[in-house]
Amino acid sequence: MHNHSCSCGHDHHHNPDHGERGTRFVFWLTVITMAVEIFSGWIFGSMALLADGWHMASHAGAMAVAWFAYVWARKNADNPDLVFGAGKVNALAGFASAVGLILVALYMAGESLSRLFSPVPISFGPATLVAVLGLAINLVSAWWLRDEDHVHSHDHNLKAAYMHVLADALTSILAIFALLGGKYYGLNWLDPAMGIVGALVIGRWAIGLMLETGWILLDRRADKDLHADILRRIEQGGEIRVRDLYAWNVGPRRLAAHVTVEDASPRPPEFYKDLLAEVAHLEHVTVEVHSCPCPAESRDQVCPEADHA
């Protein structure tokens, strides 16, 4: 049996500059808007506006986390102690932001229910103007964090920041709707009701993001199409058999794979790695090579070294 193992990297780096610039800019916008909305919601008595302000407060924290993640990843990009690089800090930041979103949704729902049964006077006109200002800033922030070349499908830190901004925009729209309904139609109950609706929508977004990033942090296998593509590239000649295969995400647009192959004429691991050179974003590849057939199998025995598929 020939047993060779080594790793290689295909250079498909994700440029985080867009994410770092965007989160830094949106952080300061969010802090300013948050302060204005919380103060105005308290002065004018609007639960929808106050909820939006506290919602933005949590998002200011989320933007700070996202900003820190980009800075940390950049400074540790060449850290030799990080086996697969610093890319997973993006998923970690996205997961933390998702947890924060869930907590905000719970707070919004509880406070809105309290206001629904214990109404307070609302200054609809000034509160509406502040809500419109908040919406305008959220739209600017969303544009700044927009998806460039489907970045959000890979950079979960940037996706989390973008989802926070979208959630802010949603709560601003709901606040405007509720305040106008109360001002012109006397539907004061709309203000806390929209807080509950916003909490439900935000909670659903957050749970989806938490599951998505959680699987990455737990090294879940990559999608089946990727595994099928790797199998096809290695076994296309019919002489090589893939005994075992694992592929998983190690960062934004960065994949790693461990492949165990059987070959009647074993070749250096670099040969098999070259077969995978065109797989998008596959940076780290480890190949283990065995002779085929395994001597134990040829004697109708169970191979003591590994289970054969």
Give CA–CA dist 56/38, Å, rounded.
9
pLDDT tens-place values along the chain, 309 residues long: 444 444 444 434 444 566 677 778 888 887 887 788 778 777 877 666 676 676 667 667 777 877 787 888 888 877 888 777 777 887 888 888 888 888 888 888 888 888 788 876 777 887 788 778 878 888 888 887 776 554 445 566 677 777 777 877 887 788 888 888 888 888 888 888 887 887 887 788 788 888 888 888 888 888 888 889 999 999 887 788 898 999 998 877 788 999 999 988 888 989 999 999 889 888 889 999 988 665 545 545 444 444 444
Read off the tokens for 272. Answer: 């098999």
- What proportions of the chain, in percent to the nearest 5, are helix, strand and coil? 60, 10, 25
Residue pair 255/281 in contact (Cβ under 8 Å)? The answer is yes
pLDDT for residue 294: 56
Question: If you search the block for the tokens 């019919």, which residue do you land on?
Answer: 238
Which pLDDT tens digit goes with each residue over 6-34? Answer: 444 443 444 456 667 777 888 888 788 77
> Is 308 strand, coil or helix?
coil
Give CA–CA dist 141/136, Å, rounded.
9
* N-to-C CA span, the chain: 17
Give CA–CA dist 272/209, Å, rounded.
35
Which of 243, 277, 273 lies closest to 261, judged by CA?
243
Give CA–CA dist 92/25, Å, rounded.
21
What does the radius of gyration of the chain's CA atoms come to, in whole angstroms? Answer: 26
Read off the tokens for 105. Answer: 């949704």
pLDDT for residue 276: 92
In the chain, the domains with their CATH numbers are 17-217 (1.20.1510.10), 221-298 (3.30.70.1350)
Q: What per-residue string of b and e applies to 83-104 under the rule 16 or more CB within 10 Å gives b?
A: ebbbbbbbbbbbbbbbebbbeb
Read off the tokens for 237. Answer: 């000649």
Residue pair 206/105 in contact (Cβ under 8 Å)? The answer is yes
Residue pair 246/260 in contact (Cβ under 8 Å)? The answer is no
Read off the tokens for 138. Answer: 């959220």
Give CA–CA dist 38/51, Å, rounded.
8
pLDDT for residue 247: 92
Considering the entire predicted model, what is its pTM? 0.67
Question: If you search the block for the tokens 């919602």, which residue do you land on?
Answer: 55
